[in-house]
Each structure stands twice: as structure tokens, then as C-alpha cells.
Amino acid sequence: MADAGGAVPLLRVGGLKRYFDVSAPLLNRVLERQPRLTLRAVDGVDFAIGRGETFSIVGESGCGKSTVARLIVGLYRPTGGSIAFDGVDMARLRTRRELAQVRRRQQMIFQDPYASLNPRWRVRDIIAEPIRAFRLIDGNAAILERVGELLRHVGLAPADGEKYPHEFSGGQRQRISIARALASKPEFLVCDEPTSALDVSVQAQILNLMKDLQREFKLTYLFISHNLAVVYHISDKVAVMYLGRIAEVAPTRTLFSRPRHPYTRMLLDTIPDLDMTGRQRTPVAGEVPNPINPPSGCSFHPRCPFAADRCRAERPEPIPLADGALVACHGVEEGRLPEDVRPLKAVS
Amino acid sequence: MALAYVDTARRALDSDLFYSFRRSPATVAAAVVVLVYFFAAGLAPWIAPHNTYDVAILDLSNAFLPPAWTASGKAQFLLGTDDQGRDVLSTIMLGARVSLMVGFAAVLFAAVLGVTLGLVSGYVGGVVDAAIMRVADVMLSFPAILIALLIDGVARGVLPRDLHTRVSVYVLIFSIGLSTWVQYARTVRATTMVEKSKEYVQAARVIGLHPALIMLRHVLPNVLGPVLVIATIGLAIAVLTEATLSFLGVGVPPTQPSLGTLIRIGNNFLFSGEWWMTIVPGAALVVLVLSVNLLGDWLRDALNPKLR
């Protein structure tokens, strides 16, 4: 994957895997002769995120995009593969001190602003927690001053720090969540569907705030979403995930104007748009298969209108294309798929 | 700072909890009764009419006196006297003191043990959870009284007689606590498993906070609501269990009688007509347990969002 200037990317993920054991309890397995079941939530994912970039992962529910986010911030341990942050392999970090140094530089914004703030804590204590945990500032007065500054950054008043989370609306809570994430002066923010629980009008406010903060603090974002309009608005690069694997990675404009992978095309077709009223759409056929028992070959073949025999037998690997896109599709590789060029304004 | 306390107090009076408290006359009555008991029991050594622990002032010629309102009663012994000439009102006040102290200590012990094990079990999960919960299942399959009797019996067998008399209160607290911690552990475990999956706990994990700190600072304050309810009802159960054990003669020594001991002593004379020696402490116990239970029921309903 081409990185800007050939420098070390801030985050590089290679062959990342996470399997979950979803077997029945031992006794049931023995009595009912059930086999062990593994759910391959993430099954070999590669990507790199350059400094200052916004990298988005889109996909339907259950495609493993949130699992990728959780693996990166260390909420889950990978089953396989590597995560390198700023050139440092996360798996090599053994001591708490080494881990803390990396963790200070990466923070996470969560999906549900009603669950991500401890209801028993005052807002100032919630925001100050990373500062206290990493011992960034000494003295209570200095910490409170910093909390006030953070609240101003996200468009709240320093006096709001005295309140409890239930006194705020969803959008305001998400601002508090962002302030907490910024408290340790991170360089990298993992945002797991940060706007999907908010009203549409508030979504735009939060997205614009995130863009402003990115400019101001030179932040790098990993943005997880299922909302293509949001992704188009905020990303530099987009990865489309399907059943634990990446189907296509491309710069945002390329992905939205020349989608290669049949799955990407299908997703883009779902965006409602007045200009495309007359256009023949490929309906979203079928549902995401069960990741416990994924289809053979390319996992998308049961839903793909272009599926051939090879797709049913052989798993496609990502292939780099001339304009910087990476596509895992036999049809694209063989050049047997029709071109699909769309006007960009369709999504904005 | 003073202003903040005034503010907190005003908010407490404004709260839904206080509103539902005022709306229920039975709860207010129960609260008053419980307060009277706490007051009478807490200050018993100073406000009780007689010091029944002092053997020197006991006069056997005052024994078996009926309550003051009966023909042969004496005004100085309002509720009569027992077989050793002890004032029944005073023994009840001092007995309630012993009962409540044992009850509170047992509840505290059970709650600390149960909440800790429940938190660890729910948060850590896996083998640790399975181990703790199997122990809890075993405890639960024995009646509480049986466990308490067993522990008391073992203590009697192991400890020398005079040492056992001195520590018998602690043995009682330990055995009652050990037979009731399972409830706390199970409830806290369930709530912890719910809270653990919430994103604020994950936010703390992303920061890299030590699991013990996450449990203590984040999860614990959010699981204490149900514990308060169980503890209130648990107090009534602990007082009853203590009374039962003392009635069976394995509780506190007769020199420092609790309500249960008083009922047992009085029981010996019930059929010879000295009914007050057992009926009065019995009624005192019933009213106390009933009031605490009413409070617990109210608290359970008031804190349950589904019933609002």
C-alpha cells in the first residue's frame, strides 16, 4: 500500500485475525455431540493509516468492523497477525509502562453516548480520568484548568464539568466523550460509529467538530461506520469490510466514483438519491452469511451477480490497481466486470 | 463547601425517593419504629431504667413480677421482671442492642464478602467465576440456620470454653454472615456482568486502568443499588437468625442476653403463667423485624425503575 512520502505509517495492521469461541459448554458438546464452533469475526485484515489521515471502515452489521477497532485499542487480543503503532509492534510490549506510553497516544470514542460515560461520575472527573491515569499533570487545580480547556475545545462551558452525564443531551455527551479522548493528548483516535446513535442534525455538528479538532491537533482517525454519507464526508481513505475480510480499499473519491468490488457497488446503490431515480439498481440481495460457517471461496459469492466457478472455489487476495485502490475480487482481476462510474455528488 | 451540603440536602428532599417515602404511611411508620429501636438500643446503657448487667443490684425478691398495669405489678418495673428480678423493659433495650449489633455486623460482613466475590466473579469471568459460583451454589443448598449451627458447633468444639464465651458474639456474626453472603454475590455478579459490557468500562480499559481500579471506581458504585435493598432485608433476616440461634441456645451467652435469649428464658416459664417474660421480648422482635422488612420492601420498589 502506498503511504504518503514513504514514511512509516502511524498504524499498520497485517494479517489481523480474531476468532471467538462460540461453542456450547463442554457438557452439552459431549452429550449432544456438537463440534467446537469458532466465529471468525476478523479473518486476515491488512491496512495502513498514514499520519493525519482519516481512514474509514464500512460494512454491514456483523462484518467485524467494530472488532477491528477493539483489537487496535487493545480491548481484545488478536488471534493472529500484527498491529504496529508508529513502527512499534504492540504484541512486543510487555510491561505496563511500555503499554501505557502507547495507550496514551491512542484513544477511543464510542458509539453509545448514553453508555460510554459513567453515570455516577461528574463530567470533570470523567474527563480528568486519563490525565490522572497517565499522571500527565500534577495538582488538582492544574488538572481542573486543563479539563475546562478541553470542554471549551469541544464547545461546552468549563462550568459544565460540575454536572453529571444525565444532565446532557446525546450530542453533548458525545462532546464530553471526545473531550475525554483528547485529554491524554493522543495522536490517534479510534471512532467506533461515533454518530450513529445521534440525530441527523447533531451528527453533522459532531462530524464538523471532529474535523476541526483533527486540523487543530493533527489527529489521525480510524473511523468505523455503516453510514456511507458520513464516511464520504469525513474520510481520506475507505475500506469496505465483508465477513471479516476487506473487500476493497481506496481513496474516498475513487471508491465513491469508481467502485470496483461488486459488494461496494451494492452498498453504494443503497444510498437514496434523487438524481438516480431512473437508474436500474441492483437490489441488495440476501443477508450476510453466518460467519461461523462462511461460504467457500469468496465469501460474497452467494450474493454476487458476477459470481463464477472460481469465486466459489478460491478465496480472492487483495490486488493493487493503478489508481491506488486494492480490490479482492476475481472478477476485477480478470477484467470481466463492467465499469461502474458514478457522479460524486450522489453521496454528498 | 457548606453550601454544597445544603444543596445536596435539598436535592435529597426533592428526590423521587423521598417523594415515594412520604407517599407511603406504612413506610413512614416503619421508619419511625426502626428509628425508635435504634435510639433505644443505641443509648440503652444510659437510658434504660435499670442496669440488668450489674449482678450486684439484682434482687431476687423482685423476681417474677408482672407488668406494672396488673394488680401485683410494681411501677418501677413497667413490663415486669424475669426469674432473676431483672427489669424486662431494660433487658429488651439491652437485648435489642445486642441483636441489632450482631445483625448489622453480620450484614456488613456478608455484604463485604458477597460484593467482593460477586464483583470479581462477574468482572473476571471464566474459571474464577465458575469456582466462586460453585461454592455459592453449595452454600445455597444448605439452610442458613444449618450453616450457622455447624460453624457455631465447630467453634464450640475447637475453642476452650471460657474463650468461646468471650468470642461467641463474633462466632455468631461470622456464621450468620457466612450463611447469607451468597445473595449479595449473585446479585452483584449479575449486575457487574451487565455493567462490564457497557462502554464506560471499556473506555477505562482503553486508558489501561488496572482491573482492580476499574472494579472499585467504575463498576462498584453502579452495582450498589440492589445491594442496599438486600442489606436492608438482610438486616431483618440476620436479626431473626440471631434470635433463632440464641433461642436454640447456641447464640450469645445468657449474661448478655439478646432478644432471642430473652424469649428462650421466658419460654421456660410460659406455662406457669409468667407470660410477659416471653411475649414482650417476642413482640419487640416481631415489631422490629416487621418494620425493617417494610422499609426494605419500600426501598426495593422505590429503586426498581420498572415499578415506577
3-class state of residue B167 by DSSP: helix
Tell me what pLDDT residue B307 has.
57
- Residue B92's contacts (CB-CB under 8 Å, 6 or more residues apart) are B79, B259, B262, B280, B281, B284
Distance CA(B93)–CA(B45), nearest Å, equals 9
Residues of chain B with Cβ-Cβ distance to A107 below 8 Å are 206-207
Distance CA(B78)–CA(B66), nearest Å, equals 9
Of A75, A99, A103, the CB nearest to B202: A75
Of B206, B209, B221, the CB nearest to A107: B206
Q: What single-letter DSSP state applies at residue A293?
A: S
Per-residue pLDDT, averaged over A133-158, amounts to 93
In a domain, A336, yes or no: yes
Distance CA(A70)–CA(A272), nearest Å, equals 31
**B86 close to A (CB below 8 A):** no
Q: In terms of Cα–Cα distance, which of A291, A190, A326, A322 is closest to B205?
A: A190
The answer to whether A53 touches A76, Cβ cutoff 8 Å, is: no
At residue B1, does pLDDT exceed 60? no
At residue A1, does pLDDT exceed 50? no
| B171-175 contacts at long range (C-beta below 8 A, 24 or more positions apart) | B172/B102, B172/B106, B172/B148, B172/B242, B172/B245, B172/B251, B172/B252, B173/B102, B173/B105, B173/B106, B173/B109, B174/B109, B175/B147, B175/B148, B175/B149, B175/B150, B175/B151, B175/B245
Per-residue pLDDT, averaged over A215-231, amounts to 92
At residue A4, does pLDDT exceed 60? no
Characterize the bridge pairing of strands A80-85 and A11-21: antiparallel
Q: Is the ipTM value over 0.90, yes or no?
A: no
Per-residue pLDDT, averaged over B107-129, amounts to 94
Characterize the bridge pairing of strands A319-320 and A106-109: unpaired
Q: Count of CB contacts below 8 A, A vs B?
A: 51
- Residue B279's contacts (CB-CB under 8 Å, 6 or more residues apart) are B266
**A98 close to B (CB below 8 A):** no
Of A74, A108, A118, the CB nearest to B218: A118
Residues A9-47 pLDDT 10s:
899 999 999 999 888 888 888 888 888 888 889 999 999
Residues B142-199 pLDDT 10s:
887 888 788 888 888 888 888 877 888 888 898 889 888 999 999 999 999 999 989 9
Query: Which triple of cell numbers denotes residue A101?
Result: 506510553
Q: Do B202 and A96 touch (CB under 8 A)?
A: no
Round the average pLDDT of chain A to a whole number and report it.
Answer: 88
Cβ burial of B281 (10 Å; 0-12, 13-18, 19+) is: buried
Residues of chain A with Cβ-Cβ distance to B222 below 8 Å are 118-120
Of B203, B208, B209, the CB nearest to A116: B203
Domain boundaries, chain B: 25-307
3-class state of residue A73 by DSSP: coil
Q: Which helix (H) or strand (E) holds B256?
A: none
Between the alpha carbon of residue B129 and those of residues A27, A62, A291, B133, B233, the distances in Å are: 17, 28, 28, 6, 26
Q: Which helix (H) or strand (E) holds A15?
A: strand A11-21
Distance CA(A306)–CA(A203), nearest Å, equals 36
Q: Which residue has the cell 444448605?
A: B142
For B104-134, letters b (16+ CB in 10 Å) and e give: bbbbbbbbebbbbbbbbbbbeeeeebeebbe
Per-residue pLDDT, averaged over A244-265, amounts to 92
Tell me what pLDDT residue B82 has.
76
Strand partners, A18: A42
Q: In terms of Cα–Cα distance, which of A250, A204, A232 is closest to A343?
A: A232
Q: Which residue has the cell 465469501?
A: A299
Q: Do A133 and B207 touch (CB under 8 A)?
A: yes
Per-residue pLDDT, averaged over A244-271, amounts to 90
Q: Edge-to-edge, what's the strand order for the sheet holding A237-242? A: A106-109, A188-192, A220-225, A54-58, A237-242, A245-251, A326-327, A319-320
3-class state of residue B29 by DSSP: helix
Q: Does domain B25-307 have CATH number 1.10.3080.10?
A: no
Q: In terms of Cα–Cα distance, which of B87, B84, B48, B49 is closest to B67?
A: B87
Residues A147-170 pLDDT 10s:
999 999 999 999 999 999 989 999
At residue B306, does pLDDT exceed 80? no
Cβ burial of A45 (10 Å; 0-12, 13-18, 19+) is: buried
Strand partners, A39: A20
The answer to whether B175 touches B147, Cβ cutoff 8 Å, is: yes
Residues of chain B with Cβ-Cβ distance to A189 below 8 Å are none
In a domain, A326, yes or no: yes
Tell me what pLDDT residue B59 has.
72
Kindly indicate the confidence band of residue B3, based on its pLDDT and cuts at 50, 70 and 90: low
The more confidently predicted of residues A348 and B100 is B100
Three-state helix/strand/coil letters over B57-116:
HCCHHHCCCCCCCCCCCCCCCCCCECCCCCEHHHHHHHHHHHHHHHHHHHHHHHHHHHHH
In a domain, A196, yes or no: no
Q: Do A73 and B206 touch (CB under 8 A)?
A: yes
Q: Which helix (H) or strand (E) holds B132?
A: helix B126-141
Characterize the bridge pairing of strands A326-327 and A245-251: antiparallel
Q: In terms of Cα–Cα distance, which of B263, B304, B296, B305 is closest to B26?
A: B296
Query: Which triple of cell numbers denotes residue B13?
Result: 428532599
DSSP H stretches of helix in B159-208:
161-196, 199-207
**A261 close to B (CB below 8 A):** no
Per-residue pLDDT, averaged over A82-109, amounts to 88
DSSP H stretches of helix in A188-293:
200-217, 228-234, 252-257, 262-269
| Residue B18 CA from chain centroid, whole number | 23
* DSSP letter string, A255-283: HHHS--SHHHHHHHHTS--STTTTSPP--
Tell me what pLDDT residue A275 has.
62
For residue A108, give the amino acid letter: M
Residues B61-90 pLDDT 10s:
777 777 777 777 777 777 777 777 778 888
Of B207, B218, B221, the CB nearest to A103: B207
Interface of B with A in 176-215 (CB under 8 A): 198-200, 202-209
Interface of A with B in 167-196 (CB under 8 A): 177, 180, 184
A297: containing domain: 262-269+276-348
| Residue B123 CA from chain centroid, whole number | 28
Tell me what pLDDT residue A247 has.
93
How many domains does one find in chain A?
1
Query: How many other CB atoms are found less than 10 A from the CB of residue A294?
Result: 18
In a domain, A323, yes or no: yes
Q: In terms of Cα–Cα distance, which of A58, A55, A47, A50 is closest to A16?
A: A47
